[in-house]
Structure 1
């Protein structure tokens, strides 16, 4: 069985429910050419995506990821995706991946060929990188100014700050800058001093008994994994809140994590060159939950 699965998808309108979605998937070899040179929207980053973790044959948080895909489509003026079609495509891909280990399924919807009638869509399932060392020992992070203030999303919705788009050049540049500064990852802050998110993650901190994350008010991408973790913590009787967080508050936190679908909860052990307390037991508990089957 191949460890990589690629499906091209003919997107169905959101309201279609009487057509077998399975007939709209076309498997292609991972090494085969699949996208056309005329796919200018993909080259420009004019599309949206989600990356779903697969743990021991179980796709994690499929529903929340698809709902976020739909929200991203709305923000970017893409046609609303048919979520049942995507759900079946994900199920098929997971069924072709090994039943043990950690994998990822990336789903992509772009505007398609310029002037064309329909978007372009595809899915790829592949082995995840090994993140165990980062989960167990932590990473170093630096804060980077994102270049606009805390109210930018409301004033300038065309920045698409709440959508998960293919435009990741800035995110990758931030990671390169972090490495130039001797760190492993970055945390964006607004120009007026509010904590936002990581280039590929949500920021979570603990001060005392409160676990907190920046509020997803359109300024940042809502975190599916972070929200699942917070729901779990609240069910267990902990205080978990989404609120505004100042950069100076993050600097004095009792613990900090970067949380994402595939890497899960990675503790930050150094922030801007200063040590951050590392709670190994709490981190292990977070990741034990995040590695369990979650719908």
Structure 2
């Protein structure tokens, strides 16, 4: 199984040799950002979108500005080193650096995509809705919560995934205290309603999904309506299609939510749009 690690200086380093210091604030406090991109057919998908989000996230996270061109070069170096025939998950990690210093930590790694990804693409997923502490408008009132930022403080998302796996399920959909649909622990929620692609409003504090954004742009070019609006779980129960979109899985259809079998007719080719937008 191949693994690639590139440090901030552009050096390809031994993936079995430790890279982080014990006092790195990314480890101690989750004080940092990350982006994950799919390496598919020899290319990195969506680099510009991901690095744009990374650069935007630095200010609300209180981190130094990101040198996007430099990070892009590190991504290119890592991609050249990836010789495996398997799909890869490329991660850019950017932390506040070591405790007591002002120098951020930056590195890029690639590892093989987990086996669950192909199963989710092929078979879809069984999911459950989970409550969260977010309410509509909270992101604007409490910017320190870093809603909409892909932060290394990811423990609650991982805990949610462990919880649903313990239930014998595959994934989750977070709901706000108002009952509106937010996002998945690692995905954007997209429903097909009346022939249109619908995703929750970004001002509800969700992470702006790069795959969702790319799919909506391509859909609009094809004359397929798309919009953001508040959704409730009942809207998902009644939708023509419900999908979880993410950079690595691309598109996983939700075939069951909260024990209810969802509609499995195909109105819009969401999976095809996701694959095509990733390949463009």
Considering the TM-score relative to the shorter chain, is it more than 0.5? yes
In the TM superposition, what is the alpha-carbon distance from 1:218 to its structure 2 partner?
Answer: 6.0
How far apart, CA to CA, are the structure 2 residues paired with 1:201 and 1:32? 31
How far apart, CA to CA, are the structure 1 residues paired with 2:251 and 2:265? 12
Moved more, 55-64 or 93-102: 93-102
Q: Which residue of 2 aligns with 1:123?
A: 108
How far apart, CA to CA, are the structure 2 residues paired with 1:244 and 1:218? 8
In the TM superposition, what is the alpha-carbon distance from 1:272 to its structure 2 partner?
Answer: 0.3
Q: Which residue of 2 aligns with 1:74?
A: 59
SS at match of 1:200: coil
Match of 2:74 among 81, 89, 98: 89
Aligned residues: 278
Unaligned stretches of 5+ in structure 1? 10-23
The alignment status of 1:289 with 2:263, answered yes or no, reads no
How far apart, CA to CA, are the structure 1 residues paired with 2:37 and 2:119? 21
Q: Which residue of 2 aligns with 1:40?
A: 25
Q: Which residue of 1 aligns with 2:260?
A: 274
How far apart, CA to CA, are the structure 2 residues paired with 1:77 and 1:287? 32
SS at match of 1:90: helix
Q: Which residue of 2 aligns with 1:57?
A: 42
Moved more, 36-45 or 50-59: 36-45
Describe how 1:236-255 pairs up with structure 2 within 5 A: 236-255=222-241
Conserved in 2, the CA contact under 8 Å of 1:141 and 1:185? Answer: yes
Conserved in 2, the CA contact under 8 Å of 1:204 and 1:213? Answer: yes
Q: Residue 284 and residue 220 in structure 1: after superposition, are their counterparts in 2 closer, same or farther (change >3 A)?
A: closer
The alignment status of 1:205 with 2:191, answered yes or no, reads yes
Match of 1:231 among 205, 214, 217: 217
Q: Which residue of 2 aligns with 1:7?
A: 6
Conserved in 2, the CA contact under 8 Å of 1:136 and 1:284? Answer: no
The alignment status of 1:151 with 2:151, answered yes or no, reads no
Describe how 1:157-196 pairs up with structure 2 within 5 A: 157-196=143-182
Q: Which residue of 1 aligns with 2:15?
A: 30
The normalised TM-score by structure 1 is 0.90
SS at match of 2:203: coil
The normalised TM-score by structure 2 is 0.94
